[in-house]
């Protein structure tokens, strides 16, 4: 039996954590006789822990593994990860997120691990910066790539970015599209009942953290323009602040100061039942500045909800390039068109079983 360690920086319940959880869940469900899987992460937040406990997965807390750059803590975290790997003699180490990805890959190879994999959940960690800081982050990823056997990209667009920045070699690249764990049929009506929204009112929504990358301000500005043209639409954002409490306060202030959005736009906090609330959306509006391959888009598609989005990450490959644009005005018109006509293409790139099987293939691979 092969021992697998998954490592991620934070233990909250956001996109990268959910993708990692989907891998772990699949290994446990379909390949429990071939793989023993464990997870390691920093002590911040901790919402992932309850989900792992539900399915009986052993986890390890790396006390000094934090999101912020801290040379002393980072070195301590590296030593803690390396010690954990040596102590448990893992056959495969699979890293996720920037900090855990760099420290984990180097520690794993130096501890003698046979197979080291890193998944890039988009490139926001690089793209949010310019100039020397971006150059240094690209350099760090180039160095870390030398300590991996495989680099998993979520789509062709991300693969092209890795090639452009000379991160890794083509022989290391593996595209594995995200997929979600199939759920039983979700009943509609929960969100409408909670917010007292009548059936004749259309709901445009998003489910995301309340931070700069997800750009809720753009969501609210589009809402302002749309409600000027239609009085039968409301906008609902589900998801609180995880990293930037101060920015979340700015969003709430903006909402309070714009009278036109009163009873037309709602900001809900983080909800574990977000997928059930989302079932009432008529259109899903993604307004992010950067993404990988967001699971929430797959969740919307599985519910039959049309998606329009900024042209970020893998989203164009997920929903069709005709439904993405970098122009805010065009995004508004795309949204209005779908509200009017209700027509959209529902792309399905990959099944959940295939998603898990592709990871198993690289865990077993000869490299």
Q: Give the model confidence (pLDDT) of 85-131 as tens digits.
A: 999 999 999 999 999 999 999 999 999 999 999 999 999 889 988 99
Query: Which class is 190-341 in CATH?
Result: alpha beta
Contacting residues for 149 by C-beta, under 8 A, at least 6 apart: 115, 116, 117, 172, 362, 365, 367
What mean pLDDT is predicted for residues 162-174? 97
Closest CA to 120 of 88, 161, 85, 87: 161
- pLDDT confidence tier of residue 178, bands split at 50, 70 and 90: very high
Same fold, 2-179+351-364 and 190-341: yes
The mean of the pLDDT values for the chain is 93
User: Comparing 174-188, 239-253, 262-276, which segment has the lowest mean pLDDT?
Assistant: 239-253
Q: pLDDT tens digits, residue range 12-38? A: 888 899 999 999 999 999 999 999 999
Angle at 53 between CA 279 and CA 79, to 5 degrees: 115
- pLDDT confidence tier of residue 155, bands split at 50, 70 and 90: very high
Given a contact cutoff of 8 angstroms between Cβ atoms, the answer to whether 314 and 152 are in contact is no
CA distance 12 to 1: 29
pTM above threshold 0.85: yes
* Confidence (pLDDT) at 345: 61
Tell me: pLDDT of 216 over 60: yes
What mean pLDDT is predicted for residues 155-161? 96
Indicate the CATH number for domain 2-179+351-364.
3.40.50.2000
CA distance 146 to 160: 18
Buried b (16+ CB within 10 A) or exposed e, 8-30: bbbbbbbbbbbbbbbbbbbbbee
How large is the greatest C-alpha to C-alpha distance in the chain, in angstroms? 63
CA distance 57 to 25: 9
The ranges assigned to domains in the chain are 2-179+351-364, 190-341
Share of the chain above pLDDT 90, in %: 78
């Amino acid at each position: 039996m092969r021992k697998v360690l998954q490592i991620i920086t934070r233990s909250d319940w956001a996109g990268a954590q959910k993708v990692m959880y989907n891998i772990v869940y699949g290994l446990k469900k379909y390949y429990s006789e071939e793989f023993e899987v464990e997870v390691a992460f920093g002590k911040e937040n901790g919402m992932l822990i309850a989900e792992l406990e539900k399915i009986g997965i052993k986890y390890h807390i790396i006390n000094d593994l934090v999101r912020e750059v801290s040379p002393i803590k980072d070195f301590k975290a590296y030593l803690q990860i390396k010690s954990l790997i040596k102590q448990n003699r893992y056959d495969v180490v699979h890293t996720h997120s920037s900090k855990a990805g760099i420290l984990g890959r180097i520690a794993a190879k130096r501890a003698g691990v046979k197979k080291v994999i890193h998944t890039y959940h988009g490139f926001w960690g690089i793209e949010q910066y310019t100039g020397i800081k971006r150059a240094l982050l690209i350099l760090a990823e180039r160095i870390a790539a030398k300590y991996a056997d495989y680099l998993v990209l979520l789509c062709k667009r991300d693969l092209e970015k890795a090639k452009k920045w000379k991160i890794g070699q083509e022989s290391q690249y593996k595209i594995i599209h995200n997929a979600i764990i199939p759920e039983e049929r979700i009943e509609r009506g929960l969100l409408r009942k909670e917010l007292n929204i009548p059936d004749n009112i259309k709901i445009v929504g998003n489910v995301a953290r309340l931070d700069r990358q997800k750009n809720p301000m753009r969501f609210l500005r589009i809402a302002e323009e749309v409600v000027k043209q239609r009085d039968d639409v409301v906008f609902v954002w589900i998801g609180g602040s995880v990293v930037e409490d101060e920015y979340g306060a700015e969003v709430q202030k903006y909402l309070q100061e714009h009278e036109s959005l009163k009873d037309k736009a709602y900001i809900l906090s983080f909800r574990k039942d977000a997928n059930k609330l989302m079932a009432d959306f008529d259109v899903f509006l993604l307004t992010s500045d950067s993404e990988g391959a967001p699971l929430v888009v797959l969740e919307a598609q599985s519910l039959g909800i049309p998606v329009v989005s900024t042209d970020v990450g893998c989203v164009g490959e997920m929903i069709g390039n005709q439904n993405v644009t970098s122009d805010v005005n065009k995004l508004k018109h795309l949204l209005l068109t779908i509200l009017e006509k209700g027509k959209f293409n529902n792309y399905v790139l990959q099944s959940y079983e295939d998603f898990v099987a592709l990871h198993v293939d690289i865990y077993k691979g000869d490299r």
